[in-house]
Amino acid sequence: MRSIVLFFASLCLLHADDAALIKQLLAEKLDHRTFAFADVVKASAGKSVIALDETNPAHQRITAAVRKALESTLATLSRPDSPVRQLRRINEASRYFEDLLIEKLNQSPGLRCQIPPTKSGELQRSGYPDLKITDTATGLVAYLDPKLVEATSLRSTLRTFYYEPKDTTVKINDDAIHLLCGIEHDGKQGEWTFTRFHLVDLSALRVRLKAEFQASNADLYSKP
């Protein structure tokens, strides 16, 4: 009998601990705070975000190559015979941009571009960042994240950039420059034309944490 009482007492303590943690998280008002992306990367991956320096030759080589690759990629994927125009949703086009950018950047002398491996060495397409560029002369790394954006939604406040730190699948394994290229399209369903790009240095970006409690269908509908 005593063991049963102890069990239920410990169970109550666990629930009390959960409740205390939930109250603490809610009190932090995390949805209303912003955090430096560089601090998030340092805390989660242990790596530094290097600010882009346009006077640094290695930085210049990378950004010049990225801009050239983007110009060529936008022109190619805007053509009437572009494979992107066979897609149902514009979000499905990201893979084509990544693959073509890898191809173009690997044609740039002194640069190597690849899918960034996780900490365990696995090549993983999903998750931030999408591409890893290495300046072979200096070893400098730049991460590049292409994002498709409709021209009319540039000022939208909807969340479009995500970084989910996970220890086993983290893809940020170098001190590096972090670049995002926003690729504008005209929004014409099935006839998308990609009009221009915005190359953004993420070293000064501030981000928000979206805290939510969630469950899957398996959690909701599985029989006890």
Burial class (CB in 10 A: 0-12, 13-18, 19+), 86: exposed
pLDDT in tens, 66-76: 999 999 999 99
Domain limits, the chain: 35-211
Mean pLDDT of 183-210: 90
pLDDT at 24 over 70: yes
Interval 33-65: pLDDT, tens: 888 999 999 999 999 999 999 899 999 999 999
Whole-angstrom Cα distance, residue 160 to residue 182?
11
Q: Which residue has the higher pLDDT, 25 or 169?
A: 169
pLDDT score of 6 more than 70: no
Q: How far apart are the first and last CA of the chain?
A: 26
Average pLDDT value for residue range 178-206: 91
CA–CA gap between residue 104 and residue 88 (Å, rounded): 26
Residue % of the chain over a pLDDT of 70: 92
Q: Is pLDDT larger for residue 177 or for residue 209?
A: 177
The mean pLDDT value for 77-99 works out to 89
Which CATH number applies to 35-211: 3.90.1690, 3.40.600, 3.30.700, 1.10.287? 3.40.600
Selection from 15-24, 47-56, 91-100, 156-165 with the highest mean pLDDT: 47-56
Q: How many Å separate Cα 187 from the centre of its chain?
A: 22
